[in-house]
Amino acid sequence: MELKVYKIDGTESGKSVILDDAIFAIEPSDDAIYLDVKQYLANQRQGTHKTKERWEMSYSTKKIGRQKGGGGARHGSLKANIFVGGATTFGPKPRDYRFKLNKKLKQLARFSALTYKAKDNAITMVEPFTMDAPRTKELIKILDNLKANGRKTLVVLPENSNNIYLSSRNLPEVKVITVDEINTYTLINANRLVMVDGVQDILVERRK
């Protein structure tokens, strides 16, 4: 697949790049995408949820009513789960939600997500650029020029640029990452993928 490379002012640079079919034109696997996204979301969970069981309650153990003749059911403790403030039956306990996936499967999921983006013509290639200081308005102007603003946009850089990253922090619909941070969830979650020229070569190198 051949893509034109644009300048940050939105004009064509006169250069084009050819995306590797082994990354951007494979037979996509929805199952691999599902598992990789599921793992990503599971790994974000803290797993610190906890409710108290009866043995952890601090109520008195005194019997709250006579065994018979009270006109209702017999009760032995306010710790019972039927009382307000009582214990929780089979409540959640702290646990680790993380699980492992095969590296080949995770790679297949990422390439499948990139393939879907290529099929949807949702990839914009832009020349390498820098910013002298964090300026959100300047980044918004660049995305407007590339027709990539106003929707969820993922900007992928070949290497870290602190100024570009800081410029995007106040933009809830824009996420800036490096090629090292590419994952299936962020790719699927974005409507438009803006790749800085050079990212595609790094992906090819790391595939080998």
pLDDT tens-place string over residues 83-94: 888 899 899 999
How far out from the chain centre does Cα 100 lie?
17
Given this model, what pLDDT does residue 27 score? 96
Q: Which residues of 147-158 are buried (b: 16+ CB within 10 A; e: fewer)?
A: ebbeeebbbbbb
Alpha carbon distance 20, 86 (integer Å): 61
Alpha carbon distance 178, 199 (integer Å): 9
**Does residue 17 form part of some domain?**
yes
pLDDT tens for residues 19-71?
999 999 999 999 999 999 999 999 999 999 999 998 888 888 788 888 898 88
How far out from the chain centre does Cα 92 lie?
25
**Does residue 36 form part of some domain?**
no
**Does residue 158 form part of some domain?**
yes
pLDDT tens for residues 157-171?
999 999 999 999 999
CATH number of 200's domain: 3.40.1370.10
**Does residue 72 form part of some domain?**
no
Q: 111: domain range?
A: 2-29+100-207
**Does residue 61 form part of some domain?**
no
Contact 206, 110 (CB under 8 A): no
Rounded to the nearest 10 degrees, what angle do helices 103-119 and 30-44 cross at?
A: 110
9: enclosing H helix or E strand: none
**Does residue 187 form part of some domain?**
yes
**Does residue 195 form part of some domain?**
yes
Alpha carbon distance 202, 138 (integer Å): 27
**Does residue 89 form part of some domain?**
no
Alpha carbon distance 106, 43 (integer Å): 14
Per the structure, the count of domains in the chain is 1
Phi, psi of 123 (to 5 degrees): -115, 130
Hunting for tokens 């590296």 — which residue is that? 103
Instruction: Indicate the pTM of the whole model.
Output: 0.83
